[in-house]
Amino acid sequence: MCSEDNGRSLLQCGLKSLLENNLVSTEKENLPLATLGEPLTDDRRSTALHCVEIEVLRILRQLVNGEVMELSVPKVTKWDRNLAPVTAPDSECAVSRVRYDVPASRHKFTVIVLLLSRVHRQLNERASGTRRRMYYEDVTFLKSQREVDDAALSVSRVLRLPPWHLGLLATAKGLVAGDLTITTADGEVLDCSNKPGGVLIPGDVCAVQSVRSSARFILVLEKDTVFQRVLQEGILDRLGPCIVITGKGYPDVSTRALLSRLEAELRLPMLAVMDADPHGVHIMCVYRFGTRTCPLALPSLRWLGVLPSELSSLGLRSAPLTPKDLVLTRALLDKKCLSDAHGIRAEIETFLTVRQKGEVDALLDISPCYITDVYLPNKIAAAHVL
């Protein structure tokens, strides 16, 4: 009992240190969250409908006047505080022209117009739909899911509105478990503390009305296999109260949006555990710094492990880097977002030195409960993060 109490005390000290030294202020960093997670109000729906109708009328005017039908898709230069794309002034260098009279872009033009019609219908019906469902509804016409995803991004840029205000949702795949209660806009209450295997994160980022938790920290895991394993090992009891989340690989917008909401409202230490390979580091960067197409960043997220340098120090099972791994490693070192992250860069450079990679699962070779009983509590207690 004394040993357990001492362990919990050390864990609490580590979390306190992380909170004081590593948790950055989110007041300015998370300005894009101004409307994220809020219900799609009548005013926002009316604005979106108006934008769609203006764009469709513009196309119809081109058709009636015998002009070439074309769409001007802005090239995003930054994003505003509502996560809507902000573009440079309209010019040839600021937009991509999608013309119906050009065979190479005719299909793309048609797909974008198709999505505009779907968006208009959904907004009128006060509904939303996943891009996956849209693909299967017209699978004979649409060439691939990627085509639908690209067209949805183009629609968002053309209308200068975020996808979730248009009902263009990605299929949710992330899971959450632990001390968290989510209330949706329609009154549904999701208790994440008592469902084996975790709760599916809501796909509609505007449907999360409120979140409530007494957790001490948030653990972000790269893979579902590790997520399920630590739940089976009793992480919620051993290290809790805490929140555990996985995006099952590269995270979808819904997972990142929920984490952003939790970061802004709960202001807890947020710790990432990824594979010690270039893809794991890249996934960590997606969470922490966002992406060009959706800049949802988590400035307070810290990389807890597994660090490339730990493969040797812990004697973990590893494998040689592939040529593709080396290409990604060099690409990571070229990222501007990592230019000042010296600790992260040093770990990435380790790949080029040792030419080895490893997985979180390798920790289980030491002991079946090593992750929850030893690795996580010791790393947190030492506040050893990047």
Q: Which residue out of 100, 135, 136, 250 is catalytically annotated?
A: 136
Instruction: Report yes or no: 319 and 357 within 8 Å, Cβ to Cβ.
Output: yes
Q: Is 375 a catalytic residue?
A: no
Q: How far apart are CA 54 and CA 50, in angstroms?
A: 6
Q: How far apart are CA 112 and CA 133, in angstroms?
A: 16
Pairing between strand 243-246 and 319-320? unpaired
**Upstream peptide bond of 52 is cis (omega within 30 degrees of 0):** no
Of 74, 149, 85, 76, nearest to 111 (Cα)?
Answer: 149
Q: How far apart are CA 210 and CA 127, in angstroms?
A: 20
Half-sphere exposure of residue 293, counting CA atoms within 13 Å on the CB side?
11
Of 155, 258, 266, 148, nearest to 201 (Cα)?
Answer: 258
Q: What are the catalytic residues?
A: 136
